[in-house]
Structure 1
Amino acid sequence: MNSGSLRLRLGLAAAGLIALALALAGVGLTLIFDRVLDARTADGLDRTAKLIAGQVALAPDGALILPREPPDSRFSAPYGGLYWQVQRQVEQAGGTALRSRSLWDRSLGTVPNAAGEPAVGDLAGPDGGRLIAVTRRVSIPANGATVALAVTVAEDRRDLAESRATFLRLLVPSLGALFVALTLAMSLFVRRALSPFRTLRADLAAIHAGTRARLPETFPEEVRPLVADLNRLLDAQERDLERARTGAGDMAHGLKTPLAVLDALARRTEGRDPALAAEIAEQAQAMGRQVERTLARARASAGGLRRKACPVAPALEKIVGALKRLPEGEALRWEIAVVDGLAFPGDEGDLTEILGNLLDNARKWAHRRIRVSGGAEAGEGRLVLEDDGPGMSEAAIAGIARGRRWDETRPGTGFGIAIARDLAEGVGARMRLNRSELGGLRVEMSWPVAV
């Protein structure tokens, strides 16, 4: 998948957005967890504070007493992480605070008054840590009066940090697994959303291959306007190509008569002025060759988007059968090895003219053998024509495209291979000329095959 792929870009964008959303969700969940953990801890501390406030009393000498301490063992262990303290809000002479054993020789402060009870906040711990604390202010009767007390219960935040760490150890892999699941789901979604474009590409390939004339109308509503425009383009192109073919045929028909007249004039003038007759005939033949190649180029450029596929084997069999009946054709050994499924990306007329020119050229120059092989592999069709003749030099191969004749001992116009190359390139095929292992010319044509 290359960097220009729409599926890749959408997938990366979706993965990035999913990662950002999960990161924000993780931060939000952590904050919510901290809030909930503080609230639940404060609620538990407040219940303990209520329990202590309900049991605290004054001894006859005015000292604070607590008949039964809270059962949690951390209250008894020095710096155990859980602390309580009861003290008068206004200290009286000889009054002392009542506190848990876990405070040892230290004391707690009180959370400042809040709008409602209990007051929740942070206090400094006896070992330098931070505590989450709850202070509940109560009054108890004593000798016909009331004594205002502040009951404070606190817990070390390091214990809460362990709970937070446990939560994060569970949260991070959970979010990672959710990221993988959502990314895979989004990848499937993107693939499903882009499936009409894959279908459109396959249908366009079928049009290029000539197996389909138009795009179907079964695409989703969002893609249907594009399909309709492409169908209109195909129809308009077909009409333009038909007019071009008709115009080319009319031009050929219109030029045949003047060329025939010139040829007749050359023959009539031959007795009186042989040099003039030869010059007229030569120019008429040159004009004929130029018209023939121009018409071939016009046909080659009229391929358009819509191609017609033609099976190679039947056309090759017809051409070889006809060439065997020509001079020197029967004496040659024709070796044909073309797979039945090989199709050329052009109509039968183009293929017939290409093979006719190439094989007729091979017939003229071959000594004993002509070999034709073809097949398709790795998404490419290939057709190779070889003979055991004298072959061609690199200079002759370079000049053949311009119609130059490199040996005047054989009949011909010099445009056969050039016309075949024009027609092949017009339908998207490539033609390469070089020397064959048989000793003569090797012509290789290749073209992409729709898969």
Structure 2
Amino acid sequence: MTGRSLRLRLSLAAAGLIALALVLGGAGLFLIFDAALDRRTADELDQTARFLAGQVAFGADGAMTLEQRPADPRYAAPYGGLYWQVDAADGQRMRSRSLWDKALDTPPRPEGDDAEPQTLDIPGPDGGTLLAVARAVQVSEPRPPVTILVGLDRRQLAASRTEVLRLLAPTLAALAVALSLAMALFVHRALLPFRALRDDLGGLREGRTTTLPGRYADEVQPLVDDLNALLDQRARALKRAETQAADMAHGLKTPLAVLSALGRRIAPLAPAEAAEIERQAEAMSAQATRALARARATAAGLERRGAAAAPVVRQIAAALDRLPGSERLDWRIETPDIVVFPASEGELFEILGALMDNARKWGRRSIVVSAHGNRDSGAITVADDGPGMAADERARIGRGVRWDETTPGTGFGLAIARDLSEAAGARLKLGVSEFGGLEATVSWPAPAAD
């Protein structure tokens, strides 16, 4: 997959959104846990304050006493993290041994008797911060309420938060990986209709079908319908173009035949003019034939099928070998059956017919037709031992220009072969054969990898 892959971009976007959602969710969970921990701790401290309220008493002399102290050993250890303190209105104070020689700052007493407890943060005896609960309690009439203060060092709560965070982080990370993999699988399955569409397009390109078959997902089907409509419209347009080209070619036959007849009639009186008329008529006929071949090649593009090269080569060689003057030639066919040209059999007949006929006209004794490749890629070469062509002449053929004016038909056949090769996705290259003559190679590449 590349950076342009829709699957990769969707998977990365989903992974990023999942990670963001889990980070925000983890932060929210941590905040909820933090608030719940404070609330629960405050409830436990209030329970201790209620316990102390039930133990506070005043003697006959007005001295404040505490019948029973909380049992948690942290209240007895110096700076043990848990602290309590009871303050009377007349200045009497009792405190836990954990405060040692320190005292807690008592908050202002709330209005009313037995008011709701206050939850607040106050400085601790050893420089820390305490989460504290302050409760005003009416112990006996007519004495004013006493203030009971119970606190816990927040550093002990921090340890609990750290433990939760230590467990939460890897859990969320594992969940992010699992959700990302699940989303990648989901994206893969969601894009399966496009994979099926690609396969059907491959069948269309190879000529197995002329339209996109089957039903697709509702989101993809409108695209398929539009493509089928476009293919149908293009097929009709190409058919019209082929018909028009054929009509043009056939329409020119009669005027050309008349010109040729006139040329032959005036040949005894004006041989030079007659020869010129014959050449021009032949050139016009070749141009019409070339236009018709182009139209057929373009129209066949939508119905292209692979054509085995070996039987086509053998049929053309057998037909050419029966022409006058061919008895001097030795045809050597080296074309394996595995080679398949990416076009219709008719197109391959026209391409190789032009190349092999050109070799027959110019070859002296030997013509070699060889091929290599398979169903996906390959090349077919036609080589002769004739005079060959100079580089500038081969370039003129590449531009579709007739290069020889002395041999009938020469030049336009090669140009037509070039046009048909390009229409089939192949390439015609002209060079020098091992015999010193012309070597024409039609090559085609393998389809691009997905």
Name whichever of 380-389 and 227-236 sits farther off.
380-389
Q: Deviations over 1:217-242 (max 9, x none)?
A: 31112222222222222222222222
Name whichever of 1-10 and 302-311 sits farther off.
302-311
The amino acid across from 1:222 in the alignment is E
Separation in 2 of the partners of 1:114 and 1:307? 94
The equivalent residue for 1:99 is 95
Deviation, 1:421, is: 0.9
Query: 1:49–1:153: 8 Å Cα contact kept in structure 2?
Result: yes
Scaled by the length of structure 1, the TM-score of the pair is: 0.89
The equivalent residue for 1:125 is 124
Asked if 1:196 corresponds to 2:193, the answer is yes
Q: Deviations over 1:277-304 (max 9, x none)?
A: 1111111111112212222223333355
Summarize the Cα distance change of 1:436–1:79 in structure 2 as closer, same or farther, 3 Å threshold: farther
The equivalent residue for 1:25 is 25
Q: Deviations over 1:92-125 (max 9, x none)?
A: 4xx2x11111111111123556796221111111
Scaled by the length of structure 2, the TM-score of the pair is: 0.89
Deviation, 1:448, is: 4.4
| Residue among 318, 321, 336 paired with 2:334 | 336
| Residue among 415, 429, 443 paired with 1:432 | 429
Identity %: 52
Where does structure 2 lack aligned partners over 5 or more consecutive residues? none
Asked if 1:289 corresponds to 2:262, the answer is no
Separation in 2 of the partners of 1:434 and 1:176? 64
Separation in 1 of the partners of 2:108 and 2:203? 82
| SS of alignment partner, residue 229 of structure 1 | helix
Query: 1:49–1:152: 8 Å Cα contact kept in structure 2?
Result: yes
The equivalent residue for 2:234 is 237
The amino acid across from 1:370 in the alignment is V
| Residue among 399, 416, 419 paired with 1:419 | 416
The equivalent residue for 2:247 is 250
Separation in 2 of the partners of 1:406 and 1:244? 28
Name whichever of 226-235 and 313-322 sits farther off.
313-322
Separation in 2 of the partners of 1:203 and 1:277? 57
Query: 2:372–2:378: 8 Å Cα contact kept in structure 1?
Result: yes
The amino acid across from 1:121 in the alignment is L
| SS of alignment partner, residue 264 of structure 1 | helix
Query: 1:46–1:118: 8 Å Cα contact kept in structure 2?
Result: yes
The equivalent residue for 1:38 is 38
The equivalent residue for 2:442 is 444
| SS of alignment partner, residue 385 of structure 1 | strand
The amino acid across from 1:444 in the alignment is V
Summarize the Cα distance change of 1:98–1:219 in structure 2 as closer, same or farther, 3 Å threshold: same
Deviation, 1:32, is: 0.5
Deviation, 1:332, is: 2.2
| SS of alignment partner, residue 301 of structure 1 | helix
| Residue among 191, 205, 208 paired with 1:211 | 208
Report 1:67-216 matches (<5 A). 67-88=67-88, 90-92=89-91, 95=92, 97-112=93-108, 117-141=116-140, 145-216=142-213
The amino acid across from 2:42 in the alignment is A
Separation in 2 of the partners of 1:111 and 1:436? 108
| SS of alignment partner, residue 123 of structure 1 | strand
Summarize the Cα distance change of 1:405–1:103 in structure 2 as closer, same or farther, 3 Å threshold: same
| SS of alignment partner, residue 211 of structure 2 | coil
The amino acid across from 2:67 in the alignment is P
Structure 1 residue ranges (4+ consecutive) displaced by more than 6 angstroms after TM superposition: none
User: Aligned residues, how many?
Assistant: 442
Separation in 2 of the partners of 1:69 and 1:366? 125
Report 1:315-394 matches (<5 A). 315-326=312-323, 327-328=325-326, 331-340=329-338, 342-363=339-360, 364-365=362-363, 367-376=365-374, 380-387=376-383, 389=385, 391-394=388-391
Where does structure 1 lack aligned partners over 5 or more consecutive residues? none
Deviation, 1:310, is: 3.0
Summarize the Cα distance change of 1:73–1:257 in structure 2 as closer, same or farther, 3 Å threshold: same
The amino acid across from 1:148 in the alignment is P
| SS of alignment partner, residue 140 of structure 1 | coil
The amino acid across from 2:137 in the alignment is V
Name whichever of 239-248 and 263-272 sits farther off.
239-248
Separation in 1 of the partners of 2:176 and 2:110? 43
Q: CA RMSD in A?
A: 2.6
Separation in 2 of the partners of 1:103 and 1:339? 101
The equivalent residue for 1:63 is 63
Q: Deviations over 1:343-372 (max 9, x none)?
A: 433222211101111222334337535141
Separation in 2 of the partners of 1:330 and 1:75? 122
Summarize the Cα distance change of 1:74–1:314 in structure 2 as closer, same or farther, 3 Å threshold: farther
| SS of alignment partner, residue 370 of structure 1 | strand
Separation in 1 of the partners of 2:435 and 2:410? 25
Deviation, 1:8, is: 2.4
Separation in 1 of the partners of 2:249 and 2:286? 11
Name whichever of 61-70 and 280-289 sits farther off.
61-70
Query: 1:357–1:416: 8 Å Cα contact kept in structure 2?
Result: yes
| SS of alignment partner, residue 346 of structure 1 | coil
Query: 2:310–2:335: 8 Å Cα contact kept in structure 1?
Result: no
